[in-house]
Amino acid sequence: MAATRSATASLSTAPAARAESGLAAKIDSALHAFSSAVGKLSHPKALETAFSSYYAYMSAHPADVKKPLLYFVDYGLPSTEPRGYIFNMKDLSVVEGPFTVAHGRGSSTSRYGVPTKFSNGFGSAMTSLGLYVAQELYQFTGHTGGAAYSSVGLRLQGVTPGYNDNARARGVVAHGAPYVSSKQAGRSEGCPAMEEQRAKRVLPELANGAMVYLFSPNSNLLASADVN
């Protein structure tokens, strides 16, 4: 009986072990492919953290990941440096980047610099870290310097519990903004905003099934794959 129970336990754990091994192999392949293609990063585990979360979510929710694109931002870098990329996770290539990306005004005390505070809370105007599913496009309207502007917007559904699952209700979206240039990015209300012309080009490609990962080394999410 003991031998039978042992064999049954081994059989029951085998699929999980194979799945874990498969995820590890995908992460390793992606890291190998992007290691020479990606520029400066704020932490050695920046890409590993993003890819671990991406592949874990794709394995658990394959129907949600309809496109192979991943919009990655390294918020451990200052807003005066390019810190955003669009990755093709199918052929493991860089589609776009690096480019400048805004962070939330509540995440830093100065207009330009490295964001150090992050929140999932309403009214915080802070960036929310973690993994998102890119959803529908819409016409975004914002204000800067006392003037209104409009741009393409991309709604985001946060899928990292406790970190960004309020993002859609908070109105955290990807969009183009006039305060983001090729040299530096101003601050948003928590949105990973990019240059307006870039947004027109790339956000339609991300809509309805791509993924987004917002990274910072100042987070308990480092090299974690905790998603819904």
Report pLDDT digits (tens) over 178-192: 999 999 999 999 999
Beta bridge partners of 24: none
Instruction: Output b/e per residue, 86-100; b: 16+ Cβ within 10 A.
Output: bbebeebebbbbbbb
Which CATH entry fits the domain spanning 2-215: 3.30.420.40, 3.40.1390.40, 2.40.440.10, 3.30.300.30? 2.40.440.10
Q: Are 129 and 220 in contact (CB under 8 A)?
A: no
pLDDT at 225 over 90: no
Nearest alpha carbon to residue 67 among 134, 129, 22:
134
pLDDT band at 145 (very low <50, low <70, confident <90, very high): confident
Return the pLDDT at 13.
56
Name the percent of the chain lying above pLDDT 90.
81
Q: Rounded to whole angstroms, how far apart are CA atoms 126 and 103?
A: 7
Regarding pTM above 0.85, the answer is: yes
Q: Quote the tokens at residue 183.
A: 């040299």
Beta bridge partner(s), residue 212: 71, 132
